[in-house]
């Protein structure tokens, strides 16, 4: 490939990435739902490992913990006032009890970080870690997400 073609390809990729970032800013509802969907997919893999339906795989455990950590890091900025209404299951409590919601995100992140090493240590450790991390999912959904 000629250098100029390389450059053009790189430029297109950069513009595409910038466009994705803009979409994320403009559509926080879609962004947070995508992150949560990935949370669900990763939790499914981990649950299968804990049940023994899938072999323990430290790489997949790492992927799940990395993704949960990413979600917890991005989540606080994905609930601007403008995103209360729309195609969302977030309850009004997210905004009326914002400090509590932010604390729930912070606790989720801490439990992900604190349980990572234990989870990577093997199937037994993973079971304990999943219980600790998974409680955050259900606790937060109970208070801040509409039941379907």
The contact set with ligand HEC (CB under 6 A) reads: 29, 32-33, 36-37, 39-40, 43, 68, 88-90, 104-105, 108, 136-137, 140-141, 144-145
Here the tokens at position 9 are 């390809």
* Shorter beta-carbon distance to ligand HEC: residue 8 or 47: 47
Calculate the CA 142 to chain-centre distance.
17
Beta carbon of residue 30, minimum distance to ligand HEC (angstroms, whole number):
9
Are the beta carbons of 35 and 70 closer than 8 angstroms?
Answer: yes
Beta carbon of residue 147, minimum distance to ligand HEC (angstroms, whole number):
11
* Shorter beta-carbon distance to ligand HEC: residue 123 or 132: 132
Beta carbon of residue 122, minimum distance to ligand HEC (angstroms, whole number):
20
Are the beta carbons of 71 and 39 closer than 8 angstroms?
Answer: yes
Tokens 């209404």 — which residue?
85
Least Cα distance to 137 among 61, 55, 47 occurs for 47
């Amino acid at each position: 490939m000629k250098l100029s073609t390389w450059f053009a390809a790189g430029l297109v990729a950069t513009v595409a990435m910038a466009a994705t970032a803009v979409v994320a800013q403009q559509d926080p509802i879609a962004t947070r739902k995508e992150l949560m969907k990935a949370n669900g997919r990763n939790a499914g893999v981990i649950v299968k490992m804990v049940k023994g339906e899938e072999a323990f795989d430290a790489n997949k455990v790492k992927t799940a913990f990395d993704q949960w950590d990413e979600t917890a890091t991005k989540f606080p900025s994905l609930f601007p006032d403008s995103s209360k209404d729309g195609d969302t299951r977030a309850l009004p409590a997210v905004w009326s009890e914002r400090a509590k919601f932010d604390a729930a995100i912070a606790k989720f992140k801490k439990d992900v970080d604190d349980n990572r090493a234990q989870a990577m240590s093997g199937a037994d450790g993973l079971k304990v870690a999943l219980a600790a991390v998974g409680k955050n999912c259900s606790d937060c959904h109970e208070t801040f997400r509409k039941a379907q």
